Structure 1
Amino acid sequence: MAVLSVSNVYKDFGNSHILKGVDLELSQGEQCVIKGSSGCGKSTLLYLIGGLENITSGQITVDNLNIGQMNDAKLANYRNSKIGFVFQFHFLLSSLTCLENILLPARLGGHDVSNVKKYIHSLAKTLGVAECLKRYPYEISGGQQQRINLIRALSLRPKLLLCDEPTGNLDSKNSKIVADLIFELSRELGTTLLVVTHDEEMSRKFSRIHTMIDGVLH
């Protein structure tokens, strides 16, 4: 059964046609990467799947939920319960510790924080950032910040992990570390993974590779 189904999706911004009839289907645990030049529409597709932008036409379903039929409240719940996001920039709040940042989605979604916290500590140990949980984002390195971001994305065990240029703001050493972690953790957890990236080394990890050219997925 498909966790993600994108069917004949179009996205326009004014008179600009960004996506032109995109189709994509991913099964439970499948790992897929989309490559393409800047402005080709690959990040836009990710935002549509994540419920951050509205579809112009077509249909997207995730775990049998039709995103286009959701109001704002249902979209917020969908993002909290089904989707994990990893962006190029970590968007960690400087006024909160790393642990408090990670726990934000759980608190906002009304989840059992005590159970989530146990899982967070387990992930942090695996990713080598257990000592960072009590620190503030500005007290740790860029590579550590992105690993904290990854833990936040996985903290509620999402059905679908969406990564937008996850290594784009890192040096080569940390890029490889984060890329390896994203790939291996999604496989271990059985989370469906969709990545858009310019990183050729990261792309080579995937057996399923698509290229976006001028709003068309190949």
Structure 2
Amino acid sequence: MSQNVIIKIENVKKFYPKSKALNGVSVSMNEGEEYLIRGSSGSGKSTLLYLLGGLERPTEGKVIVNQKNLGELNDEELALYRNRYVGFVFQFHFLLSSMNCMDNILLPSRLGGLESSEVKKRALVLADHLQVSHCLEKFPFELSGGEQQRINIIRALSLKPHLLLCDEPTGNLDSENSKKVIQLLRLLAREFNSTLVVVTHDPLIAQSFPNQFVMKDGVLLTQ
């Protein structure tokens, strides 16, 4: 595995009008490695993930990904960063009900003006690998929760992201499917050499991760 530092967070604070979500977080993460951040609801772990994904900006401090200070990017540059650099897997799949699953998968590449034929080939391979080829022409509401999440994973990986960010990816799944989804995320992140960051409150899925942190009251602690 590469030991290149891809993420560097320096004394990051994030304040909201009625709360202090992050209170001086500093951490580095290496390219192609797997990280898990565990903590209770409201501890600040999801906020940290949103900062890494360019969905939020820090109140203070620096969020540097691949030598880019995300806080210095304008809205257009952040949108480009999210589209071409980051794959998101959330607890809720956010698949558009008006589109079939293949169109949902291809949507990020189309919005980014990228070649959809290559993305479609990759999606077909991933769908076969994840055993959801039969779902591609169906609409999201026709799928089970586990199938929806696997389609969500394919969409997140469709552009071969450098950074795969997962916010409670097993929150709506039973324990058996939760284990399968985590195994798939780790396997696919390795295949794509993506840096994987998973946020969860579930201690059971944390057992096999080599790099673990605990978020408590806006402070990141090494496990």
TM interval, shorter chain, is over 0.9
Could you tell me how far 1:15 is from its partner in structure 2?
4.8
After superposition, what is the alpha-carbon deviation per residue over 1:110-153, rounded to whole angstroms, capped at 9, x for unaligned? 11100110011011111111111111001111000000000000
How many Å apart are 1:70 and its aligned residue?
Answer: 0.7
What SS is found at the alignment partner of 2:166? strand
Residues in 2 aligned to 1:107 and 1:61: alpha-carbon distance in whole angstroms: 27
Which consecutive unaligned segments of at least 5 residues does structure 2 have?
A: none
Query: 2:206 maps to which residue?
Result: 203
Number of residue pairs matched? 218
Instruction: Using the TM superposition, give the Cα deviation of residue 173 of structure 1 relative to its aligned residue in structure 2, in angstroms.
Output: 1.9
Alignment-derived partner of residue 159 in structure 1:
162
Q: Which residue type is aligned with residue 6 of structure 2?
A: V
Counterpart position of 2:129: 126
Asked if residue 212 in structure 1 is aligned to residue 210 in structure 2, the reply is no
In structure 1, which of residues 47, 50, 64 is the aligned counterpart of residue 50 of structure 2? 47
TM-score, length of structure 2 as denominator length: 0.96
- Structure 2 CA distance for aligned equivalents of residues 139 and 17 of structure 1: 40
Question: In structure 2, what is the equivalent of residue 17 of structure 1?
Answer: 20
- Alignment-mate amino acid for residue 170 of structure 2: T
The reply on whether 1:29 has 2:69 as its aligned counterpart is no
Q: Provide the rounded CA distance (Å) in 2 between the counterparts of 1:205 and 1:184.
A: 13
Structure 1 stretches of at least 4 aligned residues deviating more than 3 Å after TM superposition: none
The alignment status of 1:88 with 2:106, answered yes or no, reads no
Residue correspondence of structure 1 range 60-99 to structure 2 within 5 A: 60-99=63-102
* Percent of aligned positions that are identical: 56
The normalised TM-score by structure 1 is: 0.98
User: Contact conserved, 1:3 with 1:159, CA < 8 A, in 2?
Assistant: no
**Paired position in structure 2 for 1:179:** 182
Q: Which moved more, 1:65-74 or 1:170-179?
A: 170-179
Q: Alignment RMSD, CA only? A: 0.9
**SS in structure 2 at match of 1:193:** strand
Give the secondary structure class of the aligned counterpart of 1:176: helix
Letter in structure 1 aligned against 2:42: G
